[in-house]
């Protein structure tokens, strides 16, 4: 498999640094903590570690409000700590992907402080400033993702500035070439320090309609969705000329050997795939979140995979994401039995999989008491269930009172099930979800059919989704029962000899011979080698 780049063969593991491992007892995870757990990544079998933002930040949005693109937030450590972590990962054959947050900065970033200082400041046009509407209100109807208007009045200079997220996160003006150069220089700073690529935050937000037109109403809005979905974001996201910026980022990445560009893009498949760029000169991996967004139903998931495969540009490499720091944990969404089926799906579909820390041990969302809420979205739209703190709680390493995460008070509460749901306990259980993840990762690593092979749907009826992966004569059948119905029968593709079971989500059947048909038990996924 040496001809394929690492980001095609490998598995990405997202670390939310605040919640992974605390090394100094302040209750917040840090770089030294990640370094302490670096052998875990190799033991689990992943290939790349993606870090959510670690830049200096006032933490209005917990690192996504960047105050300096070239430093490390002291709560996480120092640049020396970062260099030590890069060296430790590289020394174990692992890659490091860094979050890049180019759409907006903190309002305390020196660029915005200068921009806000007066209309004549050279950096005024580095951000998006507009005069008030004739009635004195905001320039248009654009809404913040976190609720309310996306425009904030600045009395000192008599204009509004635009913020797609919190008011402490003013959007940069990416139509200004000086902004582009400054961010590209920051990218080079980290690439020169050994970073193996970037995950670009809200890539589809980077440009806005230059005519500042209102967004039209969303006819599907019924009040249960976040307020910003009251409007269709046709003039604030996914502008046609954003692809020029993506191509520039890719060209920069290509100046360095063996690096990857990943884009965070919440768009329908047909618009998402445009971010691969003309002649595949855009993002290597425009993140595909459809498994998170699609109802957990065999027929719908099968249809999703077919549509995605059909929409991919020729030569584009697919990718799949099951969980992240912005969405409820999958085990909470589908339950523990189907979380195992989901793991098999993620690690056997064609394309690069991304894991979210803790999913491999079945972590679930943790209820957050009102007095412990940190997320600005939850504070702006309280009680609606949009808050992201529940999926960001500390990693559960062992059965101790503080789960091995800290010796102090954790910044978010720990799960009630931490005594049983933790790495130490589950690593000793051959039937645990952690053992299943390790088995699936090893199968993927050793099987070209699963890591690089072609994809073909075999069956998607009766609550079952099945597909075949092929590579150089080797063939694997993956069959997944999306429900608790017993004895679901799948006809095997025609062949000269019986198949052999390589893995079951139930932790048994390995080595079982299958001839003619495969029978699935409730909530069971099975991988069958059809080539002996």
Residues annotated as catalytic are 201, 255
Tokens of 10: 């490998």
From its phi and psi, is residue 147 left (phi > 0), alpha (psi between -120 and 50) or beta? left
Kindly report the length of the chain. 532
Those residues with Cβ within 8 angstroms of residue 287's Cβ, 6 or more apart along the chain or in another chain: 199, 262, 263, 264, 265, 319, 321, 354
CA dist., res. 4 & res. 216, Å (int): 44
CB 92 within 8 A of CB 86: no
Q: How many CA atoms lie within 13 A of 340 on its CB side?
A: 23
CA dist., res. 331 & res. 339, Å (int): 5
Tokens of 420: 């049983």
Sheet holding 159-162, edge to edge: 129-130, 159-162, 151-154
Sheet holding 513-514, edge to edge: 454-459, 464-471, 474-481, 525-529, 499-504, 513-514
Q: How many CA atoms lie within 13 A of 508 on its CB side?
A: 3
Q: In angstroms, what CA-CA distances link 75 with 59, 81, 106, 236? A: 10, 12, 17, 33
Answer positive or negative: Cα dihedral of 371, 374, 379, 382: negative
CA dist., res. 280 & res. 317, Å (int): 10
Burial degree of 232 (CB within 10 A; 0-12, 13-18, 19+): middle
Neighbour count for residue 402 (Cβ, 10 Å): 19
Tokens of 479: 């069959």
CB 16 within 8 A of CB 446: no
CB 263 within 8 A of CB 287: yes
CA dist., res. 227 & res. 209, Å (int): 21
Tokens of 35: 């370094």
Answer positive or negative: Cα dihedral of 120, 125, 128, 132: positive
Nearest to 357 by CA among 437, 259, 428, 263: 437
Tokens of 522: 């409730």
CA dist., res. 481 & res. 190, Å (int): 44
Instruction: Give me Rg for the CA atoms of the chain.
Output: 24
């Amino acid at each position: 498999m040496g001809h394929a780049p690492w980001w095609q063969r490998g598995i990405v593991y997202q670390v939310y640094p605040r919640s992974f491992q605390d090394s100094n007892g302040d209750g917040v995870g840090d770089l030294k903590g990640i370094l302490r757990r670096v052998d875990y990544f190799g033991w689990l079998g992943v290939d790349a570690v993606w870090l959510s933002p670690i830049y200096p930040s006032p933490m209005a949005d917990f690192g996504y409000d960047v105050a300096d693109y070239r430093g490390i937030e002291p709560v996480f450590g120092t640049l020396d700590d970062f260099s030590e972590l890069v060296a430790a990962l590289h020394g174990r054959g692992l890659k490091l992907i860094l979050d890049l947050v180019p759409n907006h900065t903190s309002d305390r970033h020196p660029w915005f402080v200068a921009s806000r200082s007066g209309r004549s400041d050279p950096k005024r046009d580095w951000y998006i400033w507009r005069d008030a509407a004739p009635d004195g209100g905001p320039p248009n109807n654009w809404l913040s993702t976190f609720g309310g208007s996306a425009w904030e009045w600045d009395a000192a200079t008599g204009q509004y500035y635009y913020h797609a997220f919190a008011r402490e996160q003013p959007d940069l003006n990416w139509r200004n070439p000086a902004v582009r150069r400054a961010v590209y220089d920051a990218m080079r700073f980290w690439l020169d320090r050994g970073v193996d690529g970037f995950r670009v935050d809200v890539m589809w937000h980077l440009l806005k309609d230059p005519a500042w037109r209102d967004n039209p109403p969303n006819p599907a809005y019924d009040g249960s969705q976040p307020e910003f979905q009251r409007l269709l974001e046709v003039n604030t996201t996914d502008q046609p000329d954003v692809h020029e910026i993506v191509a520039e980022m890719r060209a920069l990445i290509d100046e360095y050997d063996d690096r990857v560009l990943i884009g965070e893009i919440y768009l329908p498949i047909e618009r998402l795939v445009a971010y691969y760029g003309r002649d595949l000169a855009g993002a290597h991996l425009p993140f595909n979140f459809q498994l998170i967004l699609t109802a957990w139903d065999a027929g719908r998931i099968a249809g999703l995979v077919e549509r995605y495969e059909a929409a991919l540009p020729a030569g584009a490499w697919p990718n799949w994401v099951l969980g992240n720091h912005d969405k409820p944990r999958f085990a909470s969404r589908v339950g523990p039995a189907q979380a195992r089926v989901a793991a098999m799906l993620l690690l056997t579909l064609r394309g690069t999989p991304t894991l979210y820390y803790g999913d491999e041990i079945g972590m679930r969302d943790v209820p957050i008491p009102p007095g412990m809420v940190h997320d600005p979205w939850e504070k702006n739209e309280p009680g609606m269930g949009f808050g992201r703190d529940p999926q960001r709680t500390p990693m559960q390493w062992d059965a101790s009172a503080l789960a091995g995460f800290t010796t102090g008070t954790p910044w978010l509460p720990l799960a009630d099930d931490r005594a049983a749901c933790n790495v130490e306990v589950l690593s000793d259980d051959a039937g645990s979800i952690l053992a299943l993840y390790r088995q699936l990762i090893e199968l993927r690593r050793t099987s070209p059919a699963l890591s690089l092979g072609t994809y073909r749907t075999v069956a998607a009826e009766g609550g079952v989704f099945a597909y075949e992966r092929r590579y150089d004569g080797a063939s694997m059948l993956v069959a997944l029962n999306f429900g608790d119905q017993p004895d679901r029968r799948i006809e095997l593709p025609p062949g000269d000899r019986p198949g052999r079971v390589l893995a079951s989500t139930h932790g048994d059947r390995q080595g079982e011979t299958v001839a003619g048909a495969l029978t699935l038990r409730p909530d069971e996924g099975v991988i069958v080698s059809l080539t002996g």
